Structure 1
Amino acid sequence: MSLTRTLTLLITTTVLVIALIAALWSYSRSNHQLEEVFDAELAQSTRIVQGLIRHLAGRQPLEQLFHTLVEMLQLPESPAVEGDADSDDEILPNGAGHKYERKLAFEVWSDQRQPLLDTLNADDAAGLEPGFDWAESGGYRWRTFTLRDPVTGFWIRAAQREDVRQELSQELALGNVLPLLLALPVLVAAAIAAIQFSFRPLRRLERPIRNMAPERIHPLDDRQAPREVVGLVQAVNGLLKRLDQALERERRFSADAAHELRTPLTALRLNLEKLSERHPDEFGGLTASVDRMVHLVEQMLLLSRVDAGVDFRTERQDLVELVEQSIADVTPLALKKRIEPELDSACVLALVSCHGALINTLLRSLLANAIQYSPAGTRVTTTLREDAGGYLVRICDQGPGIPPEARERALSRFTRLDQRQGEGAGLGLAIARRIAELHKGSLTLGDRDDGGPGLCVSVWLPASA
């Protein structure tokens, strides 16, 4: 599981949930506060009408007071307003007022509950009670505030349409929430960028481990590590040190064992040759076994030197010449099995920076393997082509081949897939791949292009700069 992905999911989910809760809370609180403001405004409007009535009640008779209230508080009829109540034109014609005045209403009753003004038409004078309430009129719900003037005894009510209150409160509440919602994607993107930036030191520590070769193990620089993973880096450094020591002991043991075995095997080979001259039937098989042991020792010594990079110095050489020389070296072995080695080169000159002896060893080993596992009378074909900034050498035989699932294992050391075929120790392909890697190249196993039986070994080497 990716730590970056987990942190990103956790942080973005947390931010989204908190932002959603904050937005809902802000929206709810804004709506509530605006409802309080609208109620206060409604009460204030009622008190203004109360003051107006108290002022006029002592100066005008009841009938005259009715006409005055209608003239001052009732919106005049307007065809434009009646025909298009939701028009975008908010100002009434001839400066008569504002269309939202239709969404405000006033009611006034005398002390005997005789209606003097009724722009609401709710018809509920019988149930007048002071305070806030709700009323139904004209298919709308209205918020009302009612009071009774203690001086005149008149009942006064102001009303607002609920849809207008909700429209205004929602617009204002959304105005408070919208900046948070708009900033949310930026906040999430910033959090993701911060997480990616914070993990850069770990990615810097990852690169040297990924590119570290077994023969060049070195400790990581814990100064680049965040404080939280310094202990982990130090533990990895300890593991790398122990691994390097174990590999060094293995290389030293292989080299020492090969050196110690070379002298007694040589002496044994000489004694067997003398005995074979007198008793060839009895000691011929034993001599072949000793030859195999000598070959194994030589391969172990070569592998040890390749791993250690002893005397590894490169120079520009022509890969065409190296391939031709390697084919010439194994031709006697091919002729014994009536195998015809072929070279198909599209390159006149193929310059590579390499250690000539090691590349020659690599090519000879692959060619010898191809000849060894090919039936008599077949062909071993070597092709040389330019490829991806370098040169590709392919050696194809007509032998039994290697199944795709076993090819990686075949490149391991001391691995022989079929003990009944060949006389090697399982080091040839491992040494060849190690030599290719030492030259910053690669070695892969594949099938023949024509689909026939056999194996193709491809070696890619970078071109010389």
Structure 2
Amino acid sequence: MRSIRTFLLLTLLATITAVTFLSLLLGYRSSLAKTDALFDERLKNLASIIVHANHDLTPRVEKTLDLKPSVFFQIWSHDGVLIARSGNAPEHQMFNSQLSEGFHDENYADFRWRTYILQDRLFKRWVITGERIDLRYEIADKIVLSAIKPTVMAIPLAAFIIWLTVGFGLKPLRELTTQLGDKKADDLSAISIKQQPKELEQLLITINDLFNRLNDAFVREQQFSADAAHELRTPISSLKVQLHNLMSTKDITDGDLEPLKEGVERMGHVIEQILSLYQHSADQAAQQMEPLNLTDIAKMVIANEYMRFESKQQRISLNAEPVCLIKGNEFALESLLQNLILNANKYTPAKGVISVNIKSKDNAVMLCVEDSGPGIVEEDRVRVFERFYRVGGDRHASGILGCGLGLAIVQHISTFHGAKVELAVSAELGGLNVMVEFPAI
């Protein structure tokens, strides 16, 4: 969308230009009418001066009074003899009809002439003054245009002044934009502007009221997350203890309690994944970004989860360069690697192989987690990033417990790290290959 400043400038300039054009057009027509009347008055006055200043009745052969082409005069006797004329006047009478007093427009010598005829009754003469109409209009245009030119030239100056004025008027809006842009993710304090204009008063009230409601909502969400983490984990832990005690009872077999055990494990997994997903806020994580060695994080996660691989007799290997630096949030990256590695652990059969590869490539750091499990068919590789989506529905063909949040968490964390996630078939192990490309530092 266009800026308000540009919109106001163009609108005001268009209005000023249109009004100026109309006023100039009307002024031009009015000025032409006035200059035309002025020139007519000049012809009339010139004829009157000649009548009173010249009493000659004897025709002159020589040309008299070389005037400019814009004005000429002739003196004719009552019987049609040319008595005198200016040097630029024609030698013949311009009128085909009988002479009569007043203003006339005549065609002569391929030009249109404006003439004035005055009868000198005392000396029985006719005095004719005139000028070419094209020269008259040329002079009139020069006079009018010289008056219009400063007005037209003033439009760019007006544009510059409007630009500065509108910019000054929008200064509070820019200040508001700057304050909003400089706010941190957890800064929901009220905004104030020096010399606050009335037009922004209601907007500021609304924004500050929104900040207050958001702050209250975030506080409630944090309290809910903390309470949920405590209240949900505690009973599940208790259920697991009671389940263990029941399993040690002689009258109850493991097969009888297996559905209950599976349900508790599933509930615990879902709760941990949901809490993990909502613990990672892009804005909050961005504030804690720092240079990290992805190789060190991978070593730590593998070491913490090694017993899971041991229990399934799986072989996991880490092939990584010693130093692969990226800018990220340590807690979020641990969660990303944990989800990728545990996904590989769950879906890779016993005695399977899992390979974690980390290397620098161009201006990126590549993380690849491959396994020898069943993989994911190509048509499902987009949907598996959706929350709670699992291939094959609630129950995977493998019978492994899951809730469909693992890869959604990986995608979520990758997004605010500026990374790209791709799924493919592992060329070496035949299972799934998850590739995450981080920008290097």
Same fold (TM over 0.5): yes
Residue 63 of structure 2: aligned partner: 71
| Partner Cα distance (1:133, 1:160) in 2 | 11
Q: Alpha-carbon deviation of 1:248?
A: 2.0
Distance of 2:211 and 2:345 partners within structure 1: 41
Residues 134-213 of structure 1 correspond to what in structure 2 (within 5 A)?
A: 134-209=105-180
Partners of 1:385 and 1:195 in 2: CA distance: 51
Alpha-carbon distance in structure 2 between the residues aligned to 1:226 and 1:370 = 60
User: Is 1:290 aligned to residue 264 of structure 2?
Assistant: yes
CA offsets, 1:151-208, max 9 Å, x none? 3232101110011111121122222222322332343354345434533432432355
Instruction: For residue 10 of structure 1, report the CA deviation from its aligned partner.
Output: 2.4
Distance in 2 separating the partners of 1:244 and 1:395: 39
Residue identity in the other structure for 1:72: T
Following superposition of structure 1 onto structure 2, how do residues 10-29 of structure 1 map, counting pairs within 5 Å?
A: 10-29=11-30
2:75 is matched with 108
Residue 247 (structure 1) aligns with:
218
User: For 2:349 and 2:143, how far apart are their aligned partners in 1?
Assistant: 90
* Deviation by residue 1:291-349 (Cα, 9 ceiling, x = unmatched): 23223444455567656979x9787653332234335555665785968666454xx53
Structure 2 residue matching 1:185: 3-state secondary structure: helix
Question: Cα–Cα, structure 1 residues 453 and 298, in superposed 2: closer, same or farther, change >3 Å?
Answer: closer
Letter in 2 for 1:53: N
Distance 2:205 2:361 in 1: 45
- Segments of 5+ residues of structure 1 without an aligned counterpart are 76-97
Deviations 1:377-403 (A, max 9, x none): 787664443776xx6454466534687
Post-superposition Cα deviations, 1:412-462, rounded to whole Å, max 9, x if no partner, equal xx643654457444555666677678xx84354446699999775646477
Counterpart of 2:294 (choices 304, 307, 319) is 319
3-state SS, counterpart of residue 217 of structure 1: coil
Q: Percent identity among equivalent residues?
A: 24
Q: Following the alignment from structure 2 to structure 1, what is the Cα–Cα distance between the partners of residues 188 and 378? A: 35
CA–CA separation in structure 1 for the residues paired with 2:168 and 2:42: 53
Q: In structure 1, what residue type is equivalent to 2:294?
A: L
Q: CA RMSD in A?
A: 4.3
Per-residue CA distance 1:117-157 (angstroms, 9 max, x = gap): 46333442743222222111101100111212243232101
Give the 3 Å change call, closer, same or farther, for CA 383–185 of structure 1 in structure 2: farther
User: Are 1:37 and 2:30 an aligned pair?
Assistant: no
Q: d(CA) in 2 for partners of 1:202 and 1:114?
A: 84
Tell me the CA shift for residue 269 of structure 1: 0.7
The corresponding residue for 1:399 is 376
Alignment partners' CA distance in 1, 2:191 and 2:410: 30
CA distance in 1, matches of 2:143, 2:380: 73
User: What's 1:83 paired with?
Assistant: none
Counterpart AA for 1:442: G
Which structure dedicates a bigger proportion of its chain to helix? 1
Distance 1:316 1:109, change over 3 A: closer
Q: 1:266 aligns with which of 218, 221, 237?
A: 237
Which residue does 2:333 correspond to in 1? 359
Classify 1:171/1:113 alpha carbon distance in 2 versus 1 (closer, same or farther; 3 Å): same
**CA distance 1:369–1:108, change in 2 (3 Å):** farther
SS in 1 for 2:360: strand
**Where do residues 208-247 of structure 1 align in structure 2 (5 Å cutoff)?**
208-209=179-180, 215-223=186-194, 225-247=196-218
User: CA, structure 1 residues 302+218, in 2 after alignment: closer, same or farther (shift >3 Å)?
Assistant: farther
Distance 2:158 2:141 in 1: 25
1:270 positional shift: 1.4
- How many residues are matched? 418
> Which deviations, in whole Å up to 9, do the C-alpha atoms of 1:224-251 show, x marking residues without a partner?
7532021112112112211221232122
Q: 1:37 offset after TM fit, Å?
A: 2.9
Deviates more, 1:203-212 or 1:263-272: 203-212
TM-score by length of 2: 0.76
User: What one-letter code is carried by the residue in structure 2 that aligns with 1:326?
Assistant: V
- 2-structure distance, mates of 1:127, 1:284: 132
Q: Are 1:399 and 1:455, in contact at CA under 8 Å, matched by a contact in 2? A: no
Tell me which amino acid in the other structure corresponds to 2:83.
L
Structure 2 gap ranges (5+): none
Bigger mean CA offset, 19-28 vs 450-459: 450-459
Worse-matched range after superposition: 182-191 or 453-462: 453-462
> 2 CA distance for matches of 1:298 and 1:221?
41
Q: For 2:60 and 2:348, how far apart are their aligned partners in 1?
A: 122
CA distance in 1, matches of 2:300, 2:414: 18
Give 1:321-360 correspondences, 5 Å limit: 321-327=296-302, 329=304, 336=312, 343=319, 345=321, 348-351=322-325, 356-360=330-334
Cα separation, 1, equivalents of 2:433 and 2:198? 52
Distance 2:194 2:440 in 1: 35
Q: TM-score, normalised by structure 1?
A: 0.72
The 8 Å contact of residues 433 and 442 in structure 1, kept in 2 or not, is answered as no
Partner of 1:442: 418
- 8 A Cα contact 2:229 2:275, kept in partner: yes
Q: How many angstroms apart in 2 are the aligned matches of 1:337 and 1:38? A: 115
- Of stretches 139-148 and 267-276 in structure 1, the one that deviates more from structure 2 is 267-276
Of residues 295-304 and 372-381 in structure 1, the stretch that sits farther from structure 2 once superposed is 372-381
Match of 2:389? Answer: 416
